[in-house]
Amino acid sequence: MKKILCLSIFVAVLLPVTAFTIDDNPLLGKWEHSGKSQGQPFNLMAIFRANGTYDGFINKKEFVSGVYHMNHDTLYIADATCNDKYNGTYKMEFFGKLDSLKFHVIQDTCVGRRQATDGKVFKKLVTAGK
């Protein structure tokens, strides 16, 4: 009986620690937000990779590259446009079948990054063969 209790406690403690592994990180892949700025339509796409790097595109033109890491539902993100030694911090809110995502700024002094992400809903782009 003690073995079962100890095993149950071990699993309960270990499970949250392993909740986000590289293989099941819901942020991996391509995400897109469409909107309007000064009356003109635009597409913002971000690609998050398993190696901790990301790229951002506006209307299919790359405008930013950087690094990120996740801790549960919190994203830490940095890029050279806003000082690559500084991390912006965002709460990630996933919807549906993890195919929609909303960013909530916790702290980010980078005005451009904050304006492009805070409160915006992104849809996951599905690639052929998935």
Confirm if 12 and 19 have CB atoms less than 8 A apart: no
The pLDDT of residue 84: 86
Give the pLDDT of the chain (130 residues) as one tens digit per residue. 444 433 334 333 333 443 444 447 899 999 999 998 889 999 999 999 999 999 999 999 999 999 999 999 999 999 999 888 999 999 999 999 999 999 999 999 999 999 989 999 999 998 655 5
The pLDDT of residue 24: 75
The pLDDT of residue 95: 93
Confirm if 66 and 49 have CB atoms less than 8 A apart: no
The pLDDT of residue 128: 55
- Phi, psi (rounded to 5 degrees) for 124: -75, 130
Residue 55 neighbours by CB distance under 10 Å: 16
Tokens standing for residue 105: 């700024």
What gap in Å lies between CA 79 and CA 84, rounded to an integer?
4
Domains of the chain: 26-125 (2.40.128.490)
**CA 115, 70, 22 angle in degrees (round to 5)?**
130
What gap in Å lies between CA 14 and CA 39, rounded to an integer?
50
